[in-house]
Amino acid sequence: MQVTITVNGTETRAEVEPRLLLVHYLRNVLGLRGTHWGCDTSNCGACTVWLDGVPVKSCTTLAAQADGHAVRTVEDLDSGGELDPLQQAFMEEHGLQCGFCTPGMLMTLRALLDRDPDPDEATIREAISGNLCRCTGYENIVRAARHAAAHPTTAPEEISA
Amino acid sequence: MTATEVPVPTSPAGNPIGFGRMLRKEDARFLRGQGHYIDDVQLPGMLHAAILRSSYAHARITGIDTSAAEAHPKVKAVITGATLEGLNLAWMPTLSGDVQSVLATDKVRFQGQEVAFVIAEDEYSARDALELIEVDYEPLPAVVDARKALEPDAPVIRDDLEGRTDNRIYDWEAGDKAACDEVFAGAEVVVAEDMLYPRVHPAPMETCGSVAHMDKVTGKLTVWTTTQAPHAHRTLYAIVAGLPEHKIQIISPDIGGGFGNKVGIYPGYVCAVVGSIVTGAPVKWIEDRSENLMSTSFARDYHMHGEIASTREGKILGLRVDVLADHGAFNGVAQPTKYPAGFFHIFTGSYDYPAAHCHVRAVYTNKAPGGVAYACSFRITEAVYLVERMVNCLADELGMDPAELRMKNLLRPEQFPYTTPTGWEYDSGNYPAALEEAMRIAGYEELRREQAERRADPAGKPLMGIGISFFTEGVGAGPRKHMDILGLGMADGCELRVHPTGKAQLRLSVQTQGQGHETTFAQIVSHELGIPPEDIEVIHGDTDNTPFGLGTYGSRSTPVSGAAAAVAAQRVREKARIIAATALECSPDDLEWELGRWQVKGDPEQGKTIPEIAFASHGNLELPEGVEGHLDASVVYNPPNLTYPFGAYICVVDVDPETGEVKVRRFIAVDDCGPRINPMIVEGQIHGGLADGIGMALMEAIAFDPEGNNLGGSFMDYLLPTSLECPSYELGMTVTPSPHHPIGAKGVGESATVGSPPAVVNAVLDALEIRQADMPFTPAVVWRAMQGRPLRTDLAIE
């Protein structure tokens, strides 16, 4: 079947199998490999992307379900290389280690901050309860979300890697 | 000297020149979704593979028909055990001297075992074709309960091994049994308990996978693979497949978490190599989550019987333990050859007593192979759990506060270096200071008062519990004379090159899985040479471009490879001194080191910076005889001893007596890992380990039903802690440098995973006022423990 999906503001079109998962459409058809696949069962959230502005688990969403809709992925968060304030906050607060869950965490928390610019710790923990992380114990992810709320505009990147 | 005593200058980019908080170099790519993980590897013409797995725990294979799968239009090849037998690859050696089936030939021995490997044009077609393979199984009774594995009528799992008539793997002991028994016979108080450390799984967020490419023209095999130990993998491929080692390149790309799950070689990796040889194309194999949980390295599964002896006043006299270790169907643990039970015999813990003995029996069962994984420090996790639970049981027996009992028995600072009853030489420590600090942060007395008030008030729900643990780890394996894996000494190499303009590259044999090596190792070199960390590039994870070494696990990167990096940088600094002296026309003895610069004693105007020396070393300066040009060093570091980080943890829980739900209210962790290279990263490592510990204590366990069906085969069944179960952690620190490590650092990657489970368990049992029940403390387990009918948490039976 043919799908037409607006991804990160650009219309994409492809002939796909009806069973193709959205995560595989993004990764394998479009080559957007920032979205990770982690569990098959919607539990881990590494595959979280936005569908019409709402975070969804792309491992249990069919590409066909996104036909005619807009998807946003982690690749769209920074603009011209400049990090989104949330990305910057993750760096400042050491909110990531292996980096595998990070794209999903970012998409979940960006959506939270867009609707609630100043969430408290409990709200943040509730928001990311569908995103698993094995490295950070969540502490610094929560701090990063608070940091982003306190610094809603991007500061210059602090290291030259 | 500690990291905090000396003010550290900052670089032009604002980073510390040396130790201190520095934002991570690796974050720039991860935050943009530009990490390069195994499933991101794309090669022209690449094929995709999937594995057919056994649905039975134990069954004889009487036939495999792959014809329908082979007829699938998109399938390129189907590989079975019979194919591999023709190549002498149906079995592969494990890291513990056993053999493991790559694809089953005679029998399947656990649910999820690899039976056939399908290679197709795309992943969906490969998985479709799995369903077209017909396997005829003749089911056999399964050995599911480890406690019954040695019964005379137990089915023999490993009848592939010649002369094998039972399921015993080994019997091993440590300590002086006779002396220990004598102490116990004369002791005023002896407390005995049975306890299980259930089977758990590291479950990194990224599953395992491999992309193999055999270039038939050049004969070169390149394998991109999820490995924590790329060099060890290269050597093992050479041994297993008989391939020439100089024609094998192992590339470990960004790793989405390891925790020990990515140490060994799995059948899928070997099949991908064979698949590339058979098809002539690159072959990618990525396991799904169920495959990861059901077939790759699990951890723990230790059934322990502990006995602790003391005086009536609470002076501990001895500890003895009998362990039944469930290793699954193949002995696939990854640990030093000399120690079949890993470092379990460090079980005497952090206390001062003379008598100790352990006996470990390991058995085969019809479960997935593995055993040493999940940040376990070669079984120190189980050892610390045992001793910290037994000390609590003793406190309960004596009616003594568990903090007071610990304080009374902790090793004293003046006893270091301390040789334990089972032969470990602890390098340094100040244990009472760490426990005092944890109690201070916790407000221990106040917590006990609150608890007493709560208990005095019958309406005082929920129940409140306070749990303590104190751990000593031994990490940084290990000294060549004591430790090897399959004959490979556990040393690590390091190469440092300072380029003509003073920018450097550091090549490591270890492989980060999120620990931040690209940042901290640059800081180690920066600390020694005074050049900014942003001017030092860390290269790792590619065997063609890094020196040999055994990799990252057992918290060994900083203790071993970190030492190698420091020594390499120190050698470069000494060479720089000679070159600076030549350039300044003086004797090297006339120079003194000022961070980043060799200068003339008494005339600091005269001096040369590392970049100036680097350029001179590559230039036309006439060097003294015997001094080669360029500014580089190559080191192989063989650690003289392990390093021994330690810590004191306190957990406070609230338990709802009506639902059995446990809420971790507070977790206080005081860690001593020596000087902290990057405190931000150290704290992150501790946070992650605390979440692991809370997960294991409260929800993680892989149980089996009587037929051997794995009941933890997805994230819907195998529960990981989320942001809601984890509290905001309260960290503290003490700093006791290791006397034998070049920068005093001890390693911290696994400390919290090792130390935290007994603190949580002690807290839950304290809340329930019950001496012993087994984790994980799910509401059902807590509820049953409260009824006095504790559940076995390893089996789905009554």
CA distances in angstroms from B608 to B497, B524, B534, B573, B781, listed in the order given: 18, 21, 21, 12, 67
In this prediction, residues A26-45 reach a mean pLDDT of 97
| DSSP per-residue letters across B278-315 | HHSS-EEEE--HHHHHHHS-EEEEEEEEEEEEE-TT--
Give the whole-angstrom CA distance, residue B491 versus residue B484.
Answer: 9
| Residues 10-29, chain A, touching B (beta carbon < 8 A) | 17, 19-20, 27
Give the whole-angstrom CA distance, residue B261 versus residue B299.
Answer: 9
From chain A, the residues in CB contact with B257 under 8 A are: 97-98, 100, 134-135
What does DSSP say about strands B536-539 and B504-508: parallel, antiparallel, or unpaired?
Answer: parallel
Give the per-residue pLDDT at A159. Answer: 46
Give the per-residue pLDDT at A160. Answer: 44
Instruction: Name residue, tokens 């008539």.
Output: B165
Q: B564: burial class by Cβ within 10 Å (0-12, 13-18, 19+)?
A: buried
Which of B779, B553, B701 lies closest to B197 in space, CA to CA? Answer: B701
| Residues 703-742, chain B, touching A (beta carbon < 8 A) | 714-716, 720, 722-724, 726, 728-729
Give the whole-angstrom CA distance, residue B35 versus residue B719.
Answer: 27
In this prediction, residues A103-124 reach a mean pLDDT of 98
Contact A103 B33 (CB under 8 A): yes
Angle (CA) B388-A97-B534 rounded to 5° is 125
Instruction: Read off the pLDDT of residues B257-276 as tens digits, 9 standing for 90 and up.
Output: 999 999 999 999 999 999 99
**Which of B205, B534, B688 is facing A159, going by the closest CB pair?**
B534
| Residue A138 backbone phi and psi in degrees, to 5 | 75, -20
| Residue B118 backbone phi and psi in degrees, to 5 | -105, 130
Does the CB of A60 have a partner CB in chain B at under 8 Å?
Answer: no
Q: pLDDT band for B460, please (50, 70, 90 cuts).
A: confident
What does DSSP say about strands A2-7 and A70-72: parallel, antiparallel, or unpaired?
Answer: parallel
From chain A, the residues in CB contact with B681 under 8 A are: 94
Q: One-letter amino acid identity for B282? A: P
pLDDT at B350 over 50: yes
Give the whole-angstrom CA distance, residue B735 versus residue B1.
Answer: 9
Contact by Cβ (8 Å): B299, B221: no
Q: Which residues contact B679 (CB under 8 A, 6 or more apart)?
A: B3, B20, B21
Nearest-CA distance A74 → chain B (Å): 6
From chain B, the residues in CB contact with A33 under 8 A are: 33, 39-40
| Residue B510 backbone phi and psi in degrees, to 5 | -90, 170
CA distances in angstroms from B697 to A89, B199, B693, B762, listed in the order given: 31, 12, 6, 10
pLDDT at B717 over 90: yes
Instruction: Read off the pLDDT of residues B238-258 as tens digits, 9 standing for 90 and up.
Output: 988 888 999 999 999 999 999
Q: Which region, left, alpha or beta, applies to residue B112 given φ > 0 means left and ψ of -120 to 50 means alpha?
A: left
Q: One-letter amino acid identity for B13? A: A
**Cis ω for the linkage preceding B155 (within 30 of 0):** no
Which of B515, B596, B593 lies closest to B559 in space, CA to CA? Answer: B515
Instruction: Read off the pLDDT of residues B730-786 as tens digits, 9 standing for 90 and up.
Output: 999 999 999 999 999 999 999 999 999 999 999 999 999 999 999 999 999 999 999
Give the whole-angstrom CA distance, residue B83 versus residue B239.
Answer: 19
Contact B24 A129 (CB under 8 A): no
Angle (CA) B576-B580-B583 rounded to 5° is 140
List, in sequence order, every residue forming a beta bridge with B109; answer none if it has no partner.
none
R_g of chain B computed on alpha carbons:
27
Percent of chain B with pLDDT over 70: 99
Q: A37 to chain B: nearest residue by CA?
A: B206
Average the pLDDT over each of B30-39, B306-315, B334-343, B682-691 and give the range with the smallest value: B334-343
From chain B, the residues in CB contact with A158 under 8 A are: 13-14, 23
Walk across the sheet containing B591-594 and list its strands.
B591-594, B597-600, B603-609
Give the per-residue pLDDT at B798. Answer: 61
Contact by Cβ (8 Å): B528, B487: no
Contact by Cβ (8 Å): A128, B723: yes
Which of B694, B152, B303, B533 lies closest to A139 in space, CA to CA? Answer: B694
Count of Cβ atoms closer than 10 Å to residue B759 Cβ: 33
Give the per-residue pLDDT at B372. Answer: 83
Tokens at B243, concatenated: 């391939």
Q: Alpha-carbon torsion B225, B298, B696, B795, what sign? A: positive
**Which of A73, A75, A138 is facing B726, going by the closest CB pair?**
A138
pLDDT at B797 over 80: no
Q: Which residues contact B584 (CB under 8 A, 6 or more apart)?
A: B591, B600, B606, B607, B608
Give the whole-angstrom CA distance, residue B321 versus residue B193.
Answer: 10
Instruction: Name residue, tokens 């194919």.
Output: B83
A138-142 long-range contacts (CB < 8 A, ≥24 apart) are A138/B687, A138/B691, A138/B722, A138/B723, A138/B726, A139/B687, A139/B726, A139/B728, A139/B729, A140/A93, A140/A94, A140/A95, A140/B684, A140/B687, A141/A90, A141/A93, A141/A95, A141/A96, A141/A105, A141/A109, A141/B723, A142/B723, A142/B728
| Residues 205-244, chain B, touching A (beta carbon < 8 A) | 205-207
Tell me what the pLDDT averaged over chain B comes to. Answer: 96
Q: Which of A138, A147, A154 to mutate to test the interface with B (most CBs of B within 10 A)?
A: A138
Instruction: Read off the pLDDT of residues B584-609 as tens digits, 9 standing for 90 and up.
Output: 999 999 999 998 999 999 999 999 99
Give the per-residue pLDDT at B6. Answer: 62
**Cis ω for the linkage preceding B462 (within 30 of 0):** yes
pLDDT at B704 over 80: yes
Q: pLDDT band for B2, please (50, 70, 90 cuts).
A: very low
| DSSP per-residue letters across B8-23 | PPB-TTS-BSSSS---
User: pTM of the prediction?
Assistant: 0.97
Q: pLDDT band for B428, please (50, 70, 90 cuts).
A: very high
3-state secondary structure of B345: helix
Give the per-residue pLDDT at B241. Answer: 82
Does the CB of A54 have a partner CB in chain B at under 8 Å?
Answer: no
Instruction: Read off the pLDDT of residues B535-589 as tens digits, 9 standing for 90 and up.
Output: 999 999 999 999 999 999 999 999 999 999 999 999 999 999 999 999 999 999 9
Does the CB of A92 have a partner CB in chain B at under 8 Å?
Answer: yes
Q: A87 to chain B: nearest residue by CA?
A: B31
Q: pLDDT band for B203, please (50, 70, 90 cuts).
A: very high
Give the whole-angstrom CA distance, residue B733 versus residue B367.
Answer: 40
Give the per-residue pLDDT at A155. Answer: 53
Give the whole-angstrom CA distance, residue A126 versus residue A112.
Answer: 10
From chain B, the residues in CB contact with A159 under 8 A are: 13-15, 22-25, 28, 534
Contact B256 A36 (CB under 8 A): yes
Tokens at B621, concatenated: 């300066």
R_g of chain A computed on alpha carbons:
16
Q: B173: burial class by Cβ within 10 Å (0-12, 13-18, 19+)?
A: middle
Domains and CATH numbers, chain A: 2-74 (3.10.20.30), 85-160 (1.10.150.120)
Q: B722 to chain A: nearest residue by CA?
A: A129
Give the whole-angstrom CA distance, residue B664 versus residue B725.
Answer: 7
Q: Alpha-carbon torsion B367, B369, B375, B379, what sign? A: positive
**Which of A77, A136, A159 is facing B23, going by the closest CB pair?**
A159
Give the whole-angstrom CA distance, residue B92 versus residue B270.
Answer: 9
Q: Which residues contact B207 (CB under 8 A, 6 or more apart)?
A: A38, B226, B286, B287, B288, B289, B291, B292
Give the whole-angstrom CA distance, residue B594 versus residue B580.
Answer: 13
Average the pLDDT over each of B162-171, B476-485, B633-642 and give the range with the smallest value: B476-485
Give the whole-angstrom CA distance, residue B519 versus residue B536.
Answer: 9
Contact B257 A46 (CB under 8 A): no
Q: Alpha-carbon torsion B781, B782, B784, B785, what sign? A: positive
